[in-house]
Amino acid sequence: MRRTVIRSTALSILAALMLPVASPSIAQDDSLTIAYLSGPTGEAPDPRIRYNGWLSNQTGVTETLMGLTPEMELYPRLAESLELVDPTTWRMTLREGLAFHDGSPVTSQSVIDSIAPILDAGSELHNPRNAGLLKIAGMEAEGDRVVVFTTAEPNAAFPWILTEPGVVVLGEPSEAYPINATGPYIFREAIADQLYRVEANPAYRDGAPGISEVRALTVTDPAAAALAFEAGDVDLVINYPETDFERITATGAQGFSAPTVQLYWLDIDATHGPLKDARIRRAVSLAIDRQGIVDAALSGIGGEPAGTLYPALMPWAADIAPTYDPAAAEALLAEAGAVKQGGRWMLDGEPLRIDLVTYASRAALPPTAELIQAYLMAIGIDAGVSIGEWGANNDAIASGSADMHLQAWGVAPSGDPAYFPGAVLHSEAGSNIGGYANPALDALLAEGRQTFDPESRKAIYDQVQAIIANDAPMIPVFHAAQVSVAKPGLKGFAVHPAMTYWLSPDIRWAD
């Protein structure tokens, strides 16, 4: 047997936009108001549905069986240990003395009852994404603290998926505790797409938190969040506009910037238009000056140029540097049959045009899209940019009415390398909008999920990244840092590379 030890409402934001700009001041009480670009979906959003678990995990309400350190290493969180019994069997032991917010004990049956609806396609709590990642075939309780998980196939990602914010352990809900969880904060109130409010859990096992109340406000416009911060309406902005970071920190605000697993990348229509030719896809990649984008769109503090899927902070990153080579890009265009006339590239007798779509909820996306447009036009490719809604943009890629979708994803929010390429590049993946299909890549992705030895897995995902670099079914642009700003005096906050952890009992205002 081998053990793997693994103080505002949303309306006040609008009022803040009409207030004069001022330097940020130190908070006067022990509450904390956060501005974030995403919000709850209802009055008591179950963490297992869609991505509700992200906000409940970030605000310290819910906890997972396994967790991720700031170094993106696994550690037992609600679990005490996790053992790999055989390739399809895992034995999990809970920590002793765990309690839900209502005081009831956390047991092995609590774990099973929490996860079972995620797997059940007939349940309103079914989460297809997490069910597909877990691949659980059975769960069995052994006493009050042990659960034996059986997976449908060998799944090396399993312990990492137990860090997913939606794979939570919950007790029976009640009017007092509609989200009856285990974390340092207790859920108290939500307004769909506006507010998520929590209060300190005085009985938390690691000590009562230093902040009594936290309000997370939904502010989808980064500029509005920045103005609300300067107006004093919020204390902490997650994802502060990079281009304003230097100025706001000069006023006395605390600045936080650290690398994350988030990748800004181009999703590509590989079945329609010019980008169905891999040579033209590679030419597009070579035409992009990624360092220029980081310097201009991110003010040099928001990220690093990306040559491959995973950031350097992860052991899975292949040694593939980003390349900016306009001459090589033009040579590939010529190889693909394009002809340059009057400084513009023609393909099949028509101007070679690439239409790029993106969305505006992340401040760096529109300027990055405009820079990519400029780099393509600089070598003679006609390029257009349109700002729309994320889902509509995906529809445009799928229908062939757009060629590339610039977007931001966490490539490994659980720390495991299988998630992103399996979700967007496997020929049968639900998020493979562009229709890319490569049997060799499919085979490697299947092998990677079923290989437990870390060195062997690293070799597999190095091959995956090499195929992506050569065939360019998607184009990495930059690995993003998370840039956040807080009022002076906030102690204990730090950017976590997984972006799913904000609050701990240690966060407090300085005396």
Report whether 276 contacts 270 (CB < 8 A). Answer: yes
Residue environment code for 128-145, b if the CB has 16+ CB neighbours within 10 A, otherwise e = ebbbebbbbeebebeeeb
Percent of the chain with pLDDT over 70: 95
Task: Give SS3 for 156.
Answer: coil
Residue 379 pLDDT greater than 50, yes or no = yes
Partnered with residue 3 across adjacent β-strands are: 83
Same domain? For 236 and 342 the reply is no
Tell me the per-residue pLDDT of 112-166, one tens digit each, with 9 for 90 and over.
999 999 999 999 999 999 999 999 999 999 999 999 999 999 999 999 999 999 9
Residue 259 pLDDT greater than 50, yes or no = yes
Same domain? For 467 and 501 the reply is no
Indicate the pLDDT class of residue 29, thresholds 50, 70 and 90: confident
Can you tell me the mean pLDDT for 163-177? 97
Report whether 361 contacts 354 (CB < 8 A). Answer: no
Tell me the per-residue pLDDT of 175-208, one tens digit each, with 9 for 90 and over.
999 999 999 999 999 999 999 999 999 999 999 9
Tell me the per-residue pLDDT of 343-371, one tens digit each, with 9 for 90 and over.
999 999 999 999 999 999 898 999 999 99
Q: If you ran DSSP here, which 8-state letter would residue 276 be given?
A: G
Residues 6 or more apart in contact with residue 11 via CB below 8 angstroms: none
What is the pTM assigned to this prediction? Answer: 0.89
For residue 219, the domain's CATH number is 3.40.190.10
For residue 471, the domain's CATH number is 3.10.105.10
Q: Could you give phi then psi for residue 467, rounded to 5 degrees?
A: -60, -45
Domain that holds residue 448: 259-482
Residues in the chain: 511
Same domain? For 195 and 330 the reply is no
- Alpha carbon distance 252, 144 (integer Å): 51
| pLDDT recorded at residue 28 | 46
Same domain? For 459 and 496 the reply is no
| pLDDT recorded at residue 510 | 94
Can you tell me the mean pLDDT for 430-438? 96
Can you tell me the mean pLDDT for 21-37? 72
* Distance, C-alpha 364 to centroid of its chain: 15
- Alpha carbon distance 58, 501 (integer Å): 4
- Alpha carbon distance 416, 431 (integer Å): 18
Give the residue among 325, 323, 326, 408 at the shortest CA–CA distance from 369. 408
Same domain? For 37 and 185 the reply is yes
Task: Give SS3 for 305.
Answer: strand
Query: How many domains does the chain divide into?
Result: 2
Same domain? For 206 and 289 the reply is no
- Alpha carbon distance 331, 375 (integer Å): 16
Residue 21 pLDDT greater than 80, yes or no = no
Q: What is the mean pLDDT of the chain?
A: 93
Same domain? For 119 and 222 the reply is yes
Residue 52 pLDDT greater than 70, yes or no = yes
Same domain? For 402 and 378 the reply is yes
| pLDDT recorded at residue 511 | 80
Tell me the per-residue pLDDT of 382-403, one tens digit each, with 9 for 90 and over.
999 999 999 999 999 999 999 9
Can you tell me the mean pLDDT for 92-106? 98
| 185-191/146-151 β-pairing | unpaired
Same domain? For 171 and 293 the reply is no
| pLDDT recorded at residue 25 | 52
Same domain? For 236 and 341 the reply is no
Same domain? For 230 and 125 the reply is yes
Q: Where is average pLDDT lowest: 3-7, 23-27, 437-441? A: 3-7
Rg for the chain, CA atoms, rounded: 24
Give the CA distances from residue 261 to residues 152, 225, 237, 318, 482, in Å, rounded to whole numbers and listed in that order: 28, 23, 19, 14, 9
Same domain? For 246 and 183 the reply is yes
